[in-house]
């Protein structure tokens, strides 16, 4: 049976055997752009088999108004690309999820309304533009682009196509951030902020085998490294 990520429990990766219970899906209406009007159920497609996309599958499954319907693996002349997409969908998406052999095939799938793009940073602009041209709403992983000009072009493309664009900076929508802001702004209780120290790291960066295989060590695909 498919294995599902959860937020707690279930071993080191938080895996569990069964998806959470949910209501029967409502009938979607109005074509690919119906999500903008709130009609029916938002049908999601995942562009790529990234590990981080597993978390999105859980979140979508737990929502009552959304469903994963398709997954695609890249077309790089790989003989196993269709098998990879199928295996990933079976492990992380609901039964019946379509596994496409190419990203283009997923964008051409009329059942998909919104596309999640967890691809490496250097590839995101290309596929956001293609998704917008295909009339798909877009949720793009952070950072959305390698520079401001590219980001603006992506937003404008979505606006011109009448689709929604959103970056996946999820913590901006968490109540914890507002509570932190309140605490820091409390001059009497917290004091005046004079210095901020921040650090971001990734595991195994010093392991040669990991460095050779992980995309974050490839400046062409992830120019921001660990931040990509």
Q: Out of 142, 182, 194, 212, pick the active-site residue.
A: 142
Give the total residue count for the chain: 228
Under 8 Å between Cβ of 131 and 117: yes
| Alpha carbon distance 189, 1 (integer Å) | 52
Q: Are 227 and 215 in contact (CB under 8 A)?
A: no
Number of H helices, E strands in the chain: 7, 8
Tell me whether residue 130 is one of the annotated catalytic residues: no
| Nearest-angstrom CA–CA distance, 117 and 141 | 6
Cis check: omega of the bond before 143, within 30 degrees of 0: yes
Give catalytic residues, as residue numbers: 142
């Amino acid at each position: 049976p498919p294995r599902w990520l959860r937020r707690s429990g279930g071993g080191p990766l938080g895996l569990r055997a069964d998806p959470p219970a949910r209501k029967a899906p409502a009938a979607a209406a109005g074509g690919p752009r119906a999500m903008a009007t709130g009609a029916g159920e938002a049908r999601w497609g995942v562009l790529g088999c990234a590990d981080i996309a597993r978390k999105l599958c859980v979140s979508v499954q737990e929502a009552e108004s959304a469903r994963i319907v398709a997954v695609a693996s890249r077309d790089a002349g790989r003989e196993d690309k269709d098998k990879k997409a199928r295996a990933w969908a079976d492990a992380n998406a609901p039964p019946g999820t379509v596994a496409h052999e190419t990203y283009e095939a997923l964008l051409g799938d009329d059942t998909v309304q919104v596309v999640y793009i967890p691809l490496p940073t250097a590839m995101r602009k290309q596929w956001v533009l293609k998704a917008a041209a295909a009339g798909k709403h877009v949720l793009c992983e952070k950072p959305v682009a390698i520079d401001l000009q590219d980001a603006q072009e992506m937003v404008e493309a979505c606006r011109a196509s009448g689709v929604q664009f959103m970056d996946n900076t999820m913590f901006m929508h968490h109540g914890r951030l507002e509570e932190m802001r309140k605490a820091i702004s409390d001059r009497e209780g917290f004091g005046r902020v004079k210095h901020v120290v921040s650090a971001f790291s990734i595991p195994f960066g010093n392991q040669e085998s990991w460095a050779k295989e992980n995309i974050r060590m490839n400046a062409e695909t992830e120019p921001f490294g660990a931040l990509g």
